[in-house]
Copies of this chain bind each other. A is one copy, B any other.
Amino acid sequence: MILDKINMPNDLKTLNMNELAELSDEIRKIIIKKVNKTGGHFGSNLGIIEATIALHYVFNCPDDKIVFDVSHQCYPHKILTGRKEGYLNPEKYSAYTGYTAPEESACDLFKVGHTSTSVSLAVGVAKARDLQGKKENVIALIGDGSLSGGEAYEGLNNAAELNSNIIIIVNDNDMSIAENAGGLYKNLKLLRDTKGKAELNFFKSLGFEYFYVDEGNDVSALINAFEKVKDANKPTVVHIHTLKGCGSKIAEEHKEIYHYIMPGMADLKDDDFALGTNTAESYNKITTDFILKKAKEDKRIIAISPATPGAYGFTKEFRDALGAQYTDVGIAEEHAVAYASALAKSGAKPILSILSSFVQRTYDQLSQDLCLNNSPATILVQWGAISGADATHLGVFDIPLLCNIPNLVYLSPVCKEEYLKMFEWSLLQNEHPVAIRVPFGEVISAGYEDMTDYSMLNKFKMTKKGANVAIIGVGNFYALAEMTAIALKEKAGIDATLINPRFLTGVDKEMLEDLKSGHNIVITLEDGVLNGGFGEKISRFYGNSEMKVLNFGAKKEFTDRVPLGELYERYHLKPGLIAEDVLKALNFAAI
């Protein structure tokens, strides 16, 4: 195997073109095998193999700097920069993260998992080089999909003024995770259709030198292009036309679904695939069924996704069924919120679905465009939960982010009936911007319809009246509250009061006041970071009283692929551990 000889990028430089092409095939097979076993980003990595080889053949890493965007496409880079064991040896399959990671290699500059950042970062790297009188090449590798993000544009606008070396490789596979959305993509198509010769050129309009490579999966064509721009002393774009999923028939044909795969999916045939529709109950299915029903009844309903529809069940079928009542805004979370706000202010009924990890890409728009204007849009916050995710995709920061914005109503349902009732209420009302933290995990059913009137803001629900200890279990963690009550009963005979707060953006002062009689301690459980979150409001409320308060939730930290069980242990998010803490606090109180 040629790869046997490649330990660091320099080893590539002795290979001839045939060997480089053969190396591409080897890496392709390795990635298909590995990702089919572990799951991971598939199509995006298969498309960029040749470009990665060409980059490392022409440039000299780590002296020359390559900044990867979102780093969905860094597996070939990792294989060529000292980490091939993590792709060749099944026992090492989990040795490296799926994203660039400076702690793994000097060839990785940044930990990156959110999109549209590479150009901005590369401008900083290049400017630092210039300030220090150095001369290396600085390269940003960005996909066409990521170009719809505002940060990418801000970066391009600044990169173009740099007056020194910065090379932006636009990896154009004509796809975001789903289809691209936006006027820019017509220009990219025009450029592809004219082999880069069209006069109308987005990149040139911003001031870049521009090169086009039509054969973006041909190592020698890429090497030719990169050699031309190496050591260029002005901002330069190399637009390469690649094939997403290149070399895997099913991934080439189903580009969206094969962007990221679960284990075994590379082995599927087209037919298996069609049969694979999941009909089990899930919050995704509950959500999409509800939206489809409402959208049929009311033409003002419109669903919005910022380029991540697959993550919450907005399948192609769902999108097609909605037609004009669906917008994928592209990777453009800021626009998504402003757009939703304006739709709501203008009589439409927007529903923006967005991952917890990405809602933080649009705080100012939530505050200014949405909440300051009190626009009655509905935002579904998805995947908000403590998890074993990569550090770049944690879902624990949305509560602090959203719950401190004036005017917003942030709701956290504990079961499907509550979720649907909140969702329906949000669509019917015209007074408040509403966000709903969609429950995460298996569907929980109360078994009966929720009849709550959510226009009575900040009314917590006492589900069980007990004494001594009151447990406020937020959303996903209401079940943990129930289990904790059982543990307290078993360990100490305590009949704890149980509360489902439902509202994250305000406290039920009356109920909290009432708890003062008959209770010595209130505990809060939230499936997110404690700092700035829900529990601290309860602590503040009781600051001036005899009531003890214990807040349970995640610590303020970026965890990186830490198993969930370990995190629960670390944060004392287990019934037995919580009960112990509570009893300890109560003993202390009794002294």
Contact = CB atoms under 8 A, between A and B. Distances in A.
A278 interface: no
Contact of A342 (B122, B161, B207): B122
Interface in A174-221: 181-184, 186-187, 199-202, 204-208
A186 B403 CA distance: 42
Interface string A139-159: 000000000111111111111
A521 B400 CA distance: 26
Given A102-B373, A161-B181, A543 B549 contact: yes
A110 B342 CA distance: 8
A338 B205 contact: no
Find the residue from A160, A300, A342, A405 having the highest chain B CB count within 10 A: A342
A303 B539 CA distance: 40
B532 A532 contact: yes
A590 interface: no
Number of this chain's copies in the complex: 2
Interface string A530-563: 1111011101101111001111000011100000
Contacts of A109: 342, 345
Interface in A60-85: 65, 67
Given A114-B364, A537-B531, A154 B124 contact: no
Interface string A341-370: 111111110100000001011111101110
A122 B346 CA distance: 10
Interface in A103-136: 109-114, 117, 120-125, 127-132
B182 A161 contact: yes
B300 A131 contact: yes
A29 interface: no
B124 A338 contact: yes
Contacts of A341: 110, 121, 124
A324 interface: yes
A484 B397 CA distance: 35
Nearest to A65: B346
B363 A363 contact: yes
Interface residues of A, number: 121
B184 A131 contact: no
B207 A186 contact: yes
Interface stretch (A8-16, A46-54, A326-334, A464-472): A326-334
Contacts of A535: 540
A535 to B, nearest CB: 7
A536 B341 CA distance: 30
Contacts of A207: 183-184, 186-187
A299 interface: yes
A238 interface: no
A495 B365 CA distance: 46
Contacts of A152: 150
B365 A364 contact: no
Interface in A550-591: 550-551, 556-558, 585, 588
B342 A121 contact: yes
Contacts of A550: 543-544
Contacts of A543: 539, 542, 548-551
A262 interface: no
B127 A327 contact: yes
A339 B537 contact: no
Contacts of A346: 65, 124-125, 128-129
A123 B327 CA distance: 11
A536 B532 CA distance: 8
Given A127-B343, A208-B183, A544-B550, A117 B404 contact: no
A205 B344 CA distance: 30
A340 interface: yes
A154 B158 contact: no
A335 interface: yes
Interface string A400-424: 1101111100000000000000000
A282 interface: no
A329 B158 contact: yes
Given A124-B343, A183-B235, 4 more contacts: A131-B325, A360-B363, A367-B397, A403-B532
29 contacts: A110-B369, A113-B368, A117-B369, A120-B339, A125-B346, A127-B348, A128-B300, A129-B346, A132-B347, A150-B154, A154-B334, A155-B335, A157-B183, A157-B184, A157-B332, A159-B183, A161-B182, A187-B205, A187-B206, A202-B205, A205-B205, A361-B364, A400-B400, A403-B531, A406-B558, A532-B533, A539-B540, A539-B543, A540-B549
